[in-house]
Amino acid sequence: MIEATSQTKTVARPASASERTSLGGFALLANAVLLYTFLYVPIAILVIFSFTSDQFGVRWTGFTLDWYARLFANERLMGAALNTLYVALISTVASTIIGTLTALAMERYRFPGRSGMDALLYLPIVIPEIVMAVALLAFSAFAFDLIQSITGTPIRRNLTTVIIAHIAFSISFVVVVVRTSLKNFDRRLEEAAQDLGASGWQTFWRITFPLILPGIIGGALLAFTLSLDDFIISLFLSGPGTSLLPVEVYNKVRRAVTPEINAISTLMLIISIALVGLSQLAQRRR
Amino acid sequence: MKRWIPLLAMALVMLSACGSAPASAPASAPAASTDSPSGAAASGDVDTSKLAKELFFYNWSDYIDPSILDDFEKEYGVKVTLDTYDQNEDMIAKVRAGNSGYDLVVPSDYAVTTMAAEGLIIPLDKSLLPNISHMNPDLLNKYFDEGNVNSVPYMYGISGIAYNKQDFPDGVDSWAALFDPAQIEKYKGKFSMLDDERESPGAALKYLGKSLNDTDPADLKAAEDLLIAQKPFLAAYNSSDVNRKLASGEYVIAHAWSGQAIQAHNGLGDEFSGNADIMFTMPKEGGMIWMDNLAILKDSPNAYTAHVFINFLMRPDIAARNTEYIGYLSPNKDAVDLLSQDIKDLYAQGFAPDAEMIKRLEWAVRNEKTTAFTDLWTVVKGE
Amino acid sequence: MRPYGPPLTHGGPTMALDTLQKQRQRSSRLRLAGLLGPGAFWLTLFFAMPLVIILLYSFMTAGPRGNVIWQATFEQYTTLFTKDIYVNAYTRSIWASVLTTLICLLIGYPLALFIARSPQAWRTPLLFLILIPFWTNFLVRIYAWQIILSNNGLINSAFQALGLPTQTLLYTENATLLGLVYGELPFMVLPLYASLDRFDFTLMEAAADLGASRWRAFLRVMLPITMPGIAAGSVLVFIPTIGQFVVSELLGGAKVDYIGNLLQRLFLRSNPPNWPLGSAMAVVMMGVLMILIMLYFRSTTEEDR
């Protein structure tokens, strides 16, 4: 991500942070500090209260690791967390690839039906989650009946149906972000490369891809985040015994939040950070 | 592409017409599946050769003691996989879409009627449920499933007022404690009402001395005004974590289900221990009674195993343990005898109905007229 | 890219021009199909088709048991447009979403700018820091806000320690707004950053050299160029806010209905549920939003064409 942009940006950067900007710079910094605090106070509370001995998890009454011990013994929650990560990973990879391809098609080509496709792409962003959940549930009922009448084997909702649905709503978000980076893209760079004899494939990998990579990564992160958090669609499209974490948490939180929920949230946080960190490392190596 | 859309739409309409129309055969033969009982098992003995390996149980969250599932597996070698829901309508939507994969569900009273009418649940084979003899006859054969054809009671509860006796040393005996402006002003922002279109309007109707099934427009308007007048004083409409908010002292009084009050008083399993100051009362004007029931889904391939499991849940020792854990009331009269003294004491203090209180309780029926409550609730929420 | 090099000329004259063009056209069409195919397929099958069902539902009759009766009617739409309660829910939701979007833009733009102007090595970590909180469950985070805002919560405890009176913070419309901004902020910052990252900051220097004030340079140079990011961010924030229901339930105390709450109730909470009415409500809402979005994007994309 960094390497790609630095080629074009290092030129633009140097003198810009001049003395004139000190006041504005301070305001920017202050705003940033405030917002990061705003974002992290609830997270801090969540993490801290996963170690509290208070059973309601609302005040600090002493340090304990009990909640983590309980959590590791809780197969349901652990299984749900694994299912959630699995779904998020697969749907993120798939929707990022499909979304990037679609964004390229939409930005680079004129074709009949383009505005129809445009509309189709905005729909998943516009649709309230609950409506999509209901629609997909009804659709899965038709589709399953159809498949059963053709093949004779009954099928059930399972993690695959959840993944299919997550990909369906993530694609659009990836497309929006990737298109933003394609819009500000200087096409002359590609033309120059091709004029210098690069094939279309080479041009894409050497020029286009590195330049839109920040957008792709941004889109992928959005998709990952959306998938991790999705609740209603997961509730409706999951099958028996394949519960997902947001569903478990929703049901539990509504009865009584215990620090066990804080503990699993803390763990998920760590795992997500580790996953993204690893992907960054891998990318840097490349 | 555009040409395809009407075509698709047509295909979908046709498909759905045959797919989702209710099978309109409520009297379909009981347990037509392959593992239906043979005469030999009718005595109540379990034919273990007919048991499935796994049973899928779709239940409300925190609505069964998990150790009971372990015991069932130990005893019968059947693993019970539990998934949870939060609302009858969530469950029905998923079941109605077909191939849900679940064997057993826990619909509330009115939801049993709905599911039976839609052919989503099958008639039970009573010969496989000898433990039904332990049930309280007063709670069998209710309006929503006469003769208990499709369901057996699982847990029931009543909706009244839970309060903290530190703040109400003289106790509470009337809905006025939640509706009288002079009283609620003192604990503004520290009480909640159940977030349900039948519960809160029902309570208001009771306070007005009406039936909670009253759909007379003038009475509904009066209830609506009462709820709107109450709103500025209210902390929240909440039917989910009232137990915790009472126990932690965030609410001093709340419209609550008896089970939530018991959980607030006694704690919930090992999730949290309770606050002994929390009490429960059924106001003198009366209130709601409701019941959740066990039922077997039509598309369950394991109906026999599901019967065995239901029968297991009705065993008095199991039902008693479950009741202790969950906190709701058991319709199993022999289980009630086995409850700990602590719980029995609470029951005596009004957490459970006695012969006198029963008279004040009313079931909330659903029919075409009661959709008026949806409108009423939308108006209240729209203010 | 290179300052000097061979003159840029197109291929030799050996191949007939029109065959070359045809070949190019064909390969270009193939490439388009390859690019567009997967997305179009997936969205049509798993999105458009399910949506057609909702559209159909909205013209059907509600059954007495929460089922859908296949009997065509306009009843749902008449109900929707004639009853105040529904109209009010729309206006309330739109207002809340406008506020949320504006606040997110107002605080998100400087944040994106701050990140884009940070030293190269810092930018990625700063960006990730914005997203990390969102990898914990949303409900749990909103619950954390309950702990902060409640009557005996952290803020009020601090007030008490300082001898100040307890403030009612939780279960207010402001608490809802705070939760919404908290939940949507990254969806504003990410696209903003994506466009600011491409912004050539020397343009600002140039504007300054030409005598423009910094504010003027911002308005005339930076803002227009980053418009696609602003548009994308605003859309990504505005839309989900309209359909939300969890925040208003947990932080607003479920006291007032937003469209999301109403939809949730019509589909899953009323007994019996009314799927046709819920579908009609969703169709109207999506229709309005689609028009808004298409207009929004069209205006911003035309600018840089």
* pLDDT tens sequence across A189-212: 888 888 888 887 888 888 888 888
The CATH label, of 2.20.25.10, 1.10.3720.10, 3.90.550.10, 1.20.58.710, for the domain at C83-273 is 1.10.3720.10
Number of domains in chain A: 1
User: What CATH number does residue A111 fall under?
Assistant: 1.10.3720.10
Q: What is the 3-state secondary structure (H, E, C) of chain C?
A: CCCCCCCCCCCCCCCCHHHHHHHHHHHHHHHHHHHHHHHHHHHHHHHHHHHHHHHHHCCCEECCCCCEECCCCCHHHHHHHHCHHHHHHHHHHHHHHHHHHHHHHHHHHHHHHHHHCCCHHHHHHHHHHHHHHHHCCHHHHHHHHHHHHCCCCHHHHHHHHCCCCCCCCCCCHHHHHHHHHHHHHHHHHHHHHHHHHHCCCHHHHHHHHCCCCHHHHHHHHHHHHCHHHHHHHHHHHHHHHHHCCHHHHHCCCCCCCCHHHHHHHHHHHCCCCCHHHHHHHHHHHHHHHHHHHHHHHHHHHHHCC
pLDDT, residue C15, reads 54
Least confident range of A263-272, B103-112, B282-291: A263-272
Does B93 sit within 8 Å of A156, measured CB to CB?
A: no
How far apart are the CA of B381 and the nearest CA of chain C, in angstroms?
5
In degrees and rounded to multiples of 5, residue B241 shows phi and psi of -110, 40
d(CA C96, CA C247): 12
Residue A285 lies in a domain: no
pLDDT, residue B23, reads 35
pLDDT, residue A3, reads 39
pLDDT, residue A96, reads 96
How far apart are the CA of A242 and the nearest CA of chain B, in angstroms?
8
What is the pLDDT averaged over residues B46-53? 90
Using pLDDT thresholds of 50, 70 and 90, give the confidence band for residue A283: low
- A49, A54, A55, A244: best to mutate for the B interface, most B CBs within 10 A: A55
* pLDDT tens sequence across A147-195: 888 888 888 889 999 999 999 999 998 998 898 888 877 788 888 888 8
- Domain boundaries in chain C? 83-273
* pLDDT tens sequence across B318-335: 999 999 999 899 999 999
Average pLDDT of the residues of chain B: 87
Window B:137-156, CB contacts with C under 8 Å: none
Query: Is residue B285 predicted with pLDDT exceeding 90?
Result: yes
How far apart are the CA of A133 and the nearest CA of chain C, in angstroms?
9
CB contact, 8 Å: C281 with chain B? no
Q: Are strands B152-164 and B287-296 parallel, antiparallel or unpaired?
A: antiparallel
Query: Is residue B268 predicted with pLDDT exceeding 80?
Result: no
Residue with tokens 């969530």: B90
Query: Is residue B38 predicted with pLDDT exceeding 50?
Result: no
What is the pLDDT averaged over residues A66-84? 90
pLDDT, residue B8, reads 39
CB contact, 8 Å: B58 with chain C? no
Question: Can you spell out the DSSP letters for A189-211?
Answer: HHHHHHHTT--HHHHIIIIIHHH
Using pLDDT thresholds of 50, 70 and 90, give the confidence band for residue B187: very high
CATH 3.40.190.10 occupies which residues in chain B?
A: 46-155+291-343, 157-290+353-382
CB contact, 8 Å: B12 with chain A? yes
Query: Is residue B154 predicted with pLDDT exceeding 80?
Result: yes
Query: Is residue B267 predicted with pLDDT exceeding 60?
Result: yes
Structural domain boundaries enclosing A156:
75-255
How far apart are the CA of C30 and the nearest CA of chain B, in angstroms?
18
d(CA C251, CA B242): 15
- Please name which of B139, B164, B179, B324 lies closest in space to residue B251, comparing C-alpha atoms: B164
Residue with tokens 């989503």: B120
Query: Is residue B21 predicted with pLDDT exceeding 80?
Result: no
- B60, B61, B80, B192: best to mutate for the A interface, most A CBs within 10 A: B61
pLDDT, residue C294, reads 78
pLDDT, residue C300, reads 63
Model-wide pTM > 0.90: no
How far apart are the CA of C22 and the nearest CA of chain B, in angstroms?
25
pLDDT, residue C3, reads 39
Query: Is residue B146 predicted with pLDDT exceeding 80?
Result: yes
Out of A91-95, A237-241, C235-239, the most confident range is A91-95
Q: Which residue has the higher pLDDT, A281 or C60?
A: C60
CB contact, 8 Å: B268 with chain A? yes
- The pLDDT > 70 percentage for chain B reads 88
CB contact, 8 Å: B228 with chain C? no
CB contact, 8 Å: B133 with chain C? no
> What is the interface size between A and B, counted as CB pairs within 8 Å?
102
CB contact, 8 Å: B87 with chain A? no
pLDDT, residue B229, reads 96
Using pLDDT thresholds of 50, 70 and 90, give the confidence band for residue B260: very high
Q: Which residue has the higher pLDDT, B204 or C269?
A: B204
What is the pLDDT averaged over residues A40-50? 92
pLDDT, residue A180, reads 80
pLDDT, residue A285, reads 61
How far apart are the CA of C10 and the nearest CA of chain B, in angstroms?
37
Q: Which residue of B has its CA nearest to C91?
A: B382
How far apart are the CA of C235 and the nearest CA of chain B, in angstroms?
26
Out of A32, A138, A189, name the one closest to residue C53 (CB).
Answer: A138
Out of C55, C66, C84, name the one closest to residue B92 (CB).
Answer: C66
DSSP reduced 3-state for A74: coil
Does B1 sit within 8 Å of A256, measured CB to CB?
A: no
CB contact, 8 Å: B189 with chain C? yes
Does B237 sit within 8 Å of C269, measured CB to CB?
A: no
What is the pLDDT averaged over residues B72-85? 94
Does A251 sit within 8 Å of B85, measured CB to CB?
A: yes
Residues of chain B with Cβ-Cβ distance to C171 below 8 Å are: 189, 235-236
Q: Which H or E run contains B278?
A: strand B278-281
Does B61 sit within 8 Å of A254, measured CB to CB?
A: yes
CATH architecture of B46-155+291-343: 3-Layer(aba) Sandwich (3.40)
Terminal-to-terminal C-alpha distance of chain B: 45
- B94, B192, B195, B199: best to mutate for the C interface, most C CBs within 10 A: B195
Cα-based distances in Å from B87 to A125, B109, B288, B298, C26: 27, 13, 18, 20, 55
Residue with tokens 């659709």: A139
Query: Is residue B2 predicted with pLDDT exceeding 50?
Result: no
- C36, C242, C249: best to mutate for the A interface, most A CBs within 10 A: C36
The CATH label, of 3.30.420.40, 3.40.470.10, 3.40.50.1970, 3.40.190.10, for the domain at B157-290+353-382 is 3.40.190.10
Q: Which residue of A has its CA nearest to B63?
A: A255
Residue A207 lies in a domain: yes
Q: Which regions of chain C are under pLDDT 70?
A: 1-17, 297, 299-305
Query: Is residue B9 predicted with pLDDT exceeding 70?
Result: no
- A71, A237, A251: best to mutate for the B interface, most B CBs within 10 A: A251
